[in-house]
Chain A
């Protein structure tokens, strides 16, 4: 059981380049989320998914796209990278209780992205 895995660990991009951050979980969790972490800002929600085929925007979605074709995978795409997207990106997954409330989240190790 690997939990939540993220690739790559580090990435340097030039402004305007595109890339995909990968996230996978092997816990059969329904919910998956992407956060970005900036100094002094805590973690901010970018996009989330409540199940395969369903995604929704979080607090800071602009400049990012997501898709959820399988339960296991939730990639985050930067179509045209900007310096403001320099950050540490965390993927998280969680169960859903029968009551529909979100259970606690498990985080991946993070992807450190630098956009020049």
Chain B
């Protein structure tokens, strides 16, 4: 299957700090998605990116679709305790085939 390399694997930050995580692949994707998963819940979509170079914001979250279409990053500004969770990137090649990264576990220290 496709390999999506997501980094970092985990982050421990102070409340108020900015966060940056990224996802890279050897394949070219048509769509990049970023999800957040809380314990015991399914992933919830944060941001969807459809075009190379696209920069999209959702509140304090900003994500970009890399120009090469092989990478994407997610930034969270001014982190708050409820940002805690696991963040997943996902890439879509064609049809219904989505491939997920291994996740970034975020801990926010009040």
Contacts and interface: CB of A to CB of B under 8 A. Distances in A.
Nearest to A91: B42
Contacts of A108: 42
Contact of B97 (A40, A58, A90): A58
Interface in A40-72: 40-45, 48, 50, 58-60
A44 B100 contact: yes
A105 B45 contact: yes
Given A101-B30, A102-B31, A102-B92, A40 B102 contact: yes
Given A45-B98, A105-B45, A59 B103 contact: no
Nearest to A90: B42
Given A40-B102, A42-B101, A101-B31, A94 B42 contact: no
B88 interface: yes
Interface in B80-110: 88, 90, 92, 95-103
A59 B1 contact: yes
Interface in B53-70: none
A106 B98 contact: no
A50 B96 CA distance: 7
Given A90-B42, A102-B95, A42 B33 contact: no
A89 to B, nearest CB: 10
Nearest to B97: A45
B44 interface: yes
Given A59-B1, A104-B48, A94 B96 contact: yes
A31 B96 contact: yes
B19 to A, nearest CB: 19
Nearest to A100: B95
A48 B100 CA distance: 15
Report, nearest first, the 10 A-B pairs whose CB atoms are least far apart. A107-B42, A42-B100, A59-B1, A43-B100, A42-B102, A48-B96, A104-B48, A31-B96, A107-B43, A109-B42
